[in-house]
Amino acid sequence: MAKIISVEQAVDLIRDGMTVGVSGFGAFSSPDSILEAIGQRYRERRTPKDLTIVSGVAPGDFQEDGCGMSKIAYDGLVQTMIASHLRMSPPMGRAVSENRVAAFSLPLGVYGQLLSAIGGGRPGVVTHVGLNTYADPTQEGCCINPKAKAQGRTFVERVRLDGRDYLFYRAFPIDACLLHASYGDELGNISVQEEPIRGELVELAAAVHNRGGIVIVEVNDIVKAGTLDPRHILIHRSYVDYLVKAQGGSNVALGHHPELTGQLRVPTQDRIRAIPLSAKKVIARRAALELRPQMLVNLGIGIPASVANIANEEGIHDQLTLSLETGVYGGVPLDGPLFGSSMNPESLSRSADMFVAYDGGGLDLTVLGAAEVDSSGNVNVSRFAGRCVGPGGFVDISQNTPKVCFAFSFTSGQQRLAVEGGRLVIQQDGSGIKFKGRADQITFSAQYARQTGQQVLFITERAVFALQDQGLTLVEIAPGVDLERDILAKMEFQPAISPALRPMDPRLFQPQPLGLAAAFQSG
C-alpha cells in the first residue's frame, strides 16, 4: 500500500547522483509541485545535486519560469539529461545547448519501448528505428552535445540479425520516478480520468518499481479507497510507493480541459479559429492537399499542426483520423502548450501503444517540420542554429510512414511575407538559410527513405521539392516568386529541377476554401 507523504518528504527521497524519471509531455502530466520543491531545496541547500533526469518530451510550456523542467534547470542540480525533446523547456534547453548539462536523446518511441524493456527485465530494445540518423553509433550514438560525448556512455550499438542491420538500445537502471496523475486513492491506485494524454506513466512506473526503485506519484487529489472507476485506473497500487497531493490542485500548468479528455464534446467550428491567409497558411494548405478520405495521419508541432485547422475549416476532419504520438486518436490536434492533445478525441491510448502502430507502418501520411535540409534530402530538427532540442517522435514517425511531408518556411529569421492577388509577395526575406550543403545533424535519413521506398515532399511557401533518385528536386514554384532570386540564391546547393516544374495550386493563394469536402465526396 502506498504511503501518503508531503511534497517536502518526497524531496527527501531524492538523493545526490540519482537517476530520476519524470513524467509529462509538454504542459501535461508534469509533477510540478515536487519539481518546484526540488528546485527550491537545491537553491537553499545545494542538494539534491548531480541528478540524471530521464524523460520523453521533457515537460514545459515554452515559458522561462513555466512548468516542468524549468523548475529544476539550475547548474549543478542536473548533471545529465536523457530525453527525447527539450524545446518546451527553454531554460533546460539552453543549459544543454550551452553544454552545461550533458544530454542524450532517444527517439520517443524507442524511449517508451526501452522503459518497457527495463520493467520487463530485458537487456534493451532491438529496432530499425534510428538507423542512419544521429542515433546510429556510426554517427553520434544519441549524443546531443560535447559534454555527453565526453561521458563515454554507450546507449546504442549496431547489430546484424538475419542479414539486416538493427540498432540495439541498452537498458539502464532508474532509481526513482516522479509522476503526475488526476487522482490517487488511499491505497495508491492511480486514475488519469482528467488527463488529456496517457504518455509513458505505466512504463515508467514499472521500469522503476521492478528494478527496486522508488515510485512517487503526485495527484490532484487523494480520495477514499474504492471510489475510483477502475476503467480510469492506469497504475495499480502495487507499483506505487508514495502518494503526494499536488499543491495547487488540477493540472498545474493548464487547468482541466474536459473537451481534451473525452468528458464532453464541443463544436470545433466555434472553438478552433480559422487561420488568416498568410504564407504559413499556404504551407499548411499545400500539405492538406495530400490528405485522402479514411487516412490515418500524424501531425507534428508548429506549421504541421495547422493542417488540423485546415481540415477543420474545410469540413473534412471527421473523414480521416488525425493522431498524435501521445496516444491520441481523432479529434482536432492542438498546437502551442496544448500540443499533444486533441479537441474531441475519439480515443486515448498509451504512447507506447501508438508507437507500435507507427513503427509497423500503420500511418498513411505524416506532416512534420524541418529546420535544415541538405542536398541529399536529409532533414535535421534535433540540433541546429546552436540549439540542442532532440527529435521527440520525429525519427520513429518519419522513418516508418509511407508518405512524408515536411512543411516549413523556406528561410528563417525576421521576414515579411504576404499573400496578395493570388501571389506570394516577399517584402523582406529571412536571413537564415535552411537548405544547407550539409545538415548539422541527421534526424531523417534520405538514404534510408530511398531504400524503403518512401514518398517524400518538402513543402514551403514558395516551392515544393520531392525526394527523387537524383536528390532534392524542385517540382513546384509559387506564383510571384523568381526562381533565381527567391529560391536558388537562398540555398547552399543547386537542387535538381524537374523538367515538369509547375506552379503551385492557385487555390492555395486565394481566401476561399480549397473545396476539399467536395473532393472527398467525389472520391
Residue appearing with cell numbers 520516478: 177
DSSP string for residues in 208-229:
HHTTT-EEEEEEEEEE-TT-S-
Whether the CB-CB separation of 316 and 516 falls below 8 Å is answered with yes
Q: Which of 245, 260, 295 is the last residue of a domain?
A: 245
Backbone φ, ψ for residue 318 (5° rounding): -90, 5
- One domain for residues 87 and 21: yes
Q: Which candidate, 305, 324, 325, 321, places its Cα nearest to that of 112?
A: 325
Residues 445-469, mean pLDDT to the nearest whole number = 97
Whole-angstrom CA distances from 154 to 148, 157, 299 are 10, 8, 32
Shared domain for 405 and 357, answered yes or no, is: yes
Domain region containing 446: 268-522
199 and 84 belong to one structural domain: yes
Output the nine-digit C-alpha cell for 28: 501535461
Cis peptide before 48 (omega within 30 of 0): yes
Q: Do strands 463-468 and 455-459 pair parallel, antiparallel, or not at all (unpaired)?
A: antiparallel
Q: What is the pLDDT of residue 273?
A: 76
**198, 352 contact by CB (below 8 A):** no
8 A C-beta contact, residue 188 and residue 218? no
Residue 168 lies in a domain: no
The answer as to whether 444 is a domain residue is yes
Structural domain total, the chain: 2
Q: From start to end of 106-237, where are the E strands?
A: 124-127, 156-161, 164-170, 176-185, 190-191, 214-223, 233-235
> 291 and 434: one domain?
yes
The closest alpha carbon to 339, from 85, 6, 19, 129, belongs to: 85
Residue 489 placed within a domain: yes
SS3 state of residue 56: strand
Same domain, 235 and 198: yes
Q: Do residues 491 and 440 both lie within one domain?
A: yes
pLDDT score of 431: 95
| Domain match, 423 and 384 both | yes
Whether 372 maps to a domain, the answer reads yes
217 and 357 assigned to the same domain: no
Instruction: Note whether residue 239 is domain-resident.
Output: yes
Helix (H) or strand (E) holding 255: none
Three-class SS string for 351-403? HHHHHHHHHCCCCCEEEECCCEEECCCCEECCEECCEECCCCCHHHHHHHCCE
- pLDDT tens sequence across 30-41: 999 999 999 999
Residue 187 banded pLDDT, cuts 50, 70, 90:
very high
Whether residues 194 and 331 share a domain: the answer is no
Looking at the structure, tell me whether residues 235 and 321 fall in a common domain: no
Predicted model pTM: 0.94
pLDDT digits (tens, 9 = 90+) for 197-208: 999 999 999 999
351-359 and 108-119 helices cross at what angle (nearest 10)? 120
pLDDT digits (tens, 9 = 90+) for 279-298: 999 999 999 999 999 999 99
User: Which residues partner with 329 through β-bridges?
Assistant: 323, 347
In a domain, 165, yes or no: no
Between CA 92 and CA 74 the distance in angstroms is 8
Last residue of a domain, one of 245, 277, 307: 245
Per-residue pLDDT band for 254 (boundaries 50, 70, 90) equals: low
Specify whether the CB–CB gap between 397 and 360 falls below 8 A: no
Cα 278 vs. chain centroid, distance in angstroms? Answer: 25
> Is 314 among the catalytic positions?
no
Task: Indicate which CATH number applies to the domain containing 422.
Answer: 3.40.1080.10
Residues 321 and 217 in one domain: no
Domain contains 75: yes
SS3 percent helix, strand, coil of the chain, rounded to 5, is 30, 30, 45
In a domain? residue 135? no
Of 230, 245, 260, the last residue of a domain is 245
From 325, 372, 461, 476, the catalytic residue: 325
The answer on 283 and 241 residing in a single domain is no
Segment 130-134 shows an average pLDDT of 98
